[in-house]
């Protein structure tokens, strides 16, 4: 028997509910059905909206509870929560009070994973930092499994992992909020207001994020951003035996910092050069921070040479300041991941530096807001953007944030449809300009996720003639 089979054997003859039949839970549902568990799949989508894979589970014996009342009669013994459903949901609270075990795909993975776990969280930069860590370890010759909030669900791959492998995870606040275990190496890139449309307040958000390090042991390592007020404060309560910092602003005693364009590792104040910041081919100062966080995470596991070579060769992750094409002298960038104002600001700054003195930035922005103010984003747009094309349900909020700071010379256009906004931006662009999708909002008013939004943007851009 494997790690997952051993774990599931503890629940023999128990009824199981899997809430959410998305990508992360599909392999789990397969395993549960193969193991003979009475499995109920609960999903708020209608029968017409779910894909054929979900319907095929019904033919294999699963019970489907779909539509808006999908949580009615939640009486199963074991409940696997989808990250998008908060544990404070009344139906979940009632089930737990009744005696049900509430867990998740990621919590079980932490229980059964046979190898070292490196995990990354933060408001911005976590996907790139996770990917860079994975690339560095692979380039060093390690066997690496990248997943969590990105990539392939890892729970059902645990049986294939060996003790010397390394699992590298991106973790969201929604995954972390119920966690009772922390990784061997934890990284917190930064923290700023985010997802406040779902979390009840900033304190809940901060507390959820802190679970990435709160259950660590003396033998573990945690990496914090010294330049961020919240993560700097986190360090005071970290139980790990090795607490490292990274900073773009000041030298650190233990960790990684950047000084005069050179990135150093410092151990008890003794500095050693890792690389030049210019070695990093990804655009933007925020990616210097992402690389510093990654270097601190893999200290002792990856050589400086491998860190440098990764920086020089890794072209980045899809939907993150991704160059789509250049057409008639206009460069088109897909930054669909920029679903918060702070992340969008970082993208605008990176492209502004890249555009140089004479290049203009034409921004496509908008979507569904996260309950976070757009004031800082509005000021950044007025300062660095020439034209903004707004779309989506949050268009009015962004427009008002811009007007509040003073529109200046900024051109503002409004389009009802996403495709219309992208085409409008292309029509306004001239040779030497940059057109970028940098939404500052989630995609959920028009798309299933930011990936679908980014792919749609790329399809439209690639169809331009």
The predicted pLDDT at position 1 comes to: 44
Taking a C-beta distance cutoff of 8 angstroms, is the pair 322, 316 a contact?
yes
Q: How many other C-beta atoms can be found within 10 angstroms of the C-beta atom of residue 232?
A: 15
Give the pLDDT confidence of 357-408 residue by residue, as tens digits.
Answer: 557 999 999 999 988 899 999 999 999 999 999 999 999 999 999 999 999 8
43: its two tokens? 């999903």
| pLDDT at site 122 | 94
Q: What percent of the chain is predicted at pLDDT more than 70?
A: 98
- Give the tokens for residue 36: 């003979």
Whether the CB-CB separation of 433 and 359 falls below 8 Å is answered with yes
pLDDT in tens, 270-323: 999 999 999 998 988 989 999 999 999 999 999 999 999 999 999 888 898 899
- Cα–Cα distance for residue pair 179/104, rounded to 1 Å: 9
CA 223 to chain centre: 17
Q: Are 183 and 107 in contact (CB under 8 A)?
A: no
- 450 phi/psi in degrees, rounded to 5: -70, -25
CATH tag, 3-103? 3.40.50.720
Q: Is the pLDDT of residue 171 over 50?
A: yes
Please provide the DSSP assignment of 42-57 as one string.
EESS-TTTS-HHHHHH
Q: Where are the domains of the chain?
A: 3-103, 107-313, 322-463
The mean of the pLDDT values for the chain is: 93
Q: What percent of the chain has pLDDT over 90?
A: 79
DSSP letter for 195, please. Answer: -
pLDDT, average across residues 161-179: 95
What average pLDDT does this structure show over 10-17?
92
CATH number 3.30.2350.10 is the correct assignment for the domain at 322-463:
no
**pLDDT-wise least confident of 64-78, 196-210, 251-265, 295-309:** 196-210
Q: How far apart are the C-alpha atoms of 205 and 234, rounded to whole Å? A: 13
Longest dimension (CA), the chain: 69
- The phi and psi torsions of 184 (rounded to 5 degrees) equal -65, -40
How many Cβ atoms from other residues are within 10 Å of residue 407's Cβ?
15
Among residues 132, 134, 118, which one has the least CA distance to residue 188?
118
CATH value of 107-313 in 3.40.50.2000, 3.40.1190.10, 3.90.1580.10, 3.40.50.1950: 3.40.1190.10
Look-up of token digits 């990354």: 120
Residues 6+ apart with CB under 8 A from 450: 319, 336, 337, 339, 442, 443
Residues 256/246, Cβ–Cβ less than 8 Å: yes
Confidence of residue 265 (pLDDT cuts 50, 70, 90): very high
DSSP 318-360: TTSSEEEEEETTEEEEE-TT--SHHHHHHHHHHHHHHHTTT--
Dist. CA 234–CA 238, nearest whole Å: 7
Side-chain-side CA neighbours of residue 408 (13 Å): 16
Pick the more confident residue, 316 or 179.
179
Phi, psi of 189 (to 5 degrees): -70, -40
CB 442 within 8 A of CB 370: yes
Q: What pTM value is reported for the model? A: 0.80
């Amino acid at each position: 028997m494997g790690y997952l089979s051993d774990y599931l054997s503890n629940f023999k003859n128990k009824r199981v509910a899997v809430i959410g039949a998305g990508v992360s839970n599909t392999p789990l549902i397969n395993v549960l059905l193969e193991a003979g568990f009475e499995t109920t799949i609960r999903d708020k989508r209608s029968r017409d909206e779910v894909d054929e894979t979900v319907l095929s589970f019904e033919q294999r014996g699963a019970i489907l509870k779909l539509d808006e009342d999908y949580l009615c009669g939640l009486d199963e013994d074991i409940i696997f929560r989808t990250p998008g459903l908060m544990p404070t949901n009344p139906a979940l609270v009632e089930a737990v009070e009744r005696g049900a075990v509430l867990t998740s795909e990621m919590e079980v993975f932490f229980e059964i994973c046979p190898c070292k776990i490196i995990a990354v969280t933060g408001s911005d930069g976590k996907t790139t930092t996770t990917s860079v860590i994975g690339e560095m370890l692979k380039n060093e010759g390690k066997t690496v499994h990248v997943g969590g909030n990105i990539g392939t669900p890892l729970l059902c791959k645990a049986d294939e992992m060996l003790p010397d492998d390394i699992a590298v995870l991106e973790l969201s606040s929604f995954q972390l909020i119920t966690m009772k275990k922390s990784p061997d190496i934890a990284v917190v890139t930064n923290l700023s207001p985010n997802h406040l449309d779902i979390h009840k307040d900033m304190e809940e958000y901060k507390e959820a994020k802190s679970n990435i390090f709160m259950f660590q042991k003396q033998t573990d390592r945690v990496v914090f951003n010294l330049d961020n007020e919240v993560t700097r404060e986190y360090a005071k309560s970290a139980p790990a035996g090795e607490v490292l910092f990274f900073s773009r602003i000041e030298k650190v005693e233990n960790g990684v910092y950047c000084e005069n364009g050179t990135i150093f590792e410092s151990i008890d104040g003794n500095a050693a050069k890792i690389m030049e910041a210019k070695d990093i081919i990804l655009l933007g100062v925020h990616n210097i921070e992402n690389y510093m966080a990654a270097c601190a995470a893999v200290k002792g596991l990856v050589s400086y040479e491998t860190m440098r070579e990764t920086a020089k060769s890794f072209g980045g992750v899809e939907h993150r300041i991704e160059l789509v094409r250049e057409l008639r002298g206009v460069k088109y960038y897909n930054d669909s991941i920029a679903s918060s104002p702070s992340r969008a600001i970082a993208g605008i700054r990176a492209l502004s530096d890249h555009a140089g003195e004479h290049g203009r930035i034409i921004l496509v922005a908008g979507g569904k807001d996260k309950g976070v103010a757009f004031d800082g984003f509005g000021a950044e747009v007025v300062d660095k953007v020439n034209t903004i094309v707004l779309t989506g349900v949050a268009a009015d909020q962004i427009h008002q944030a811009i007007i509040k700071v003073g529109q200046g010379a900024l051109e503002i256009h409004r389009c009802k449809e996403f495709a219309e906004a992208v085409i409008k931006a292309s029509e306004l662009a001239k040779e030497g300009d940059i057109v970028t999708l940098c939404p500052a909002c989630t995609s959920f008013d028009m798309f299933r996720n930011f990936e679908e939004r980014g792919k749609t943007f790329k399809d439209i851009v690639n169809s331009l003639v």
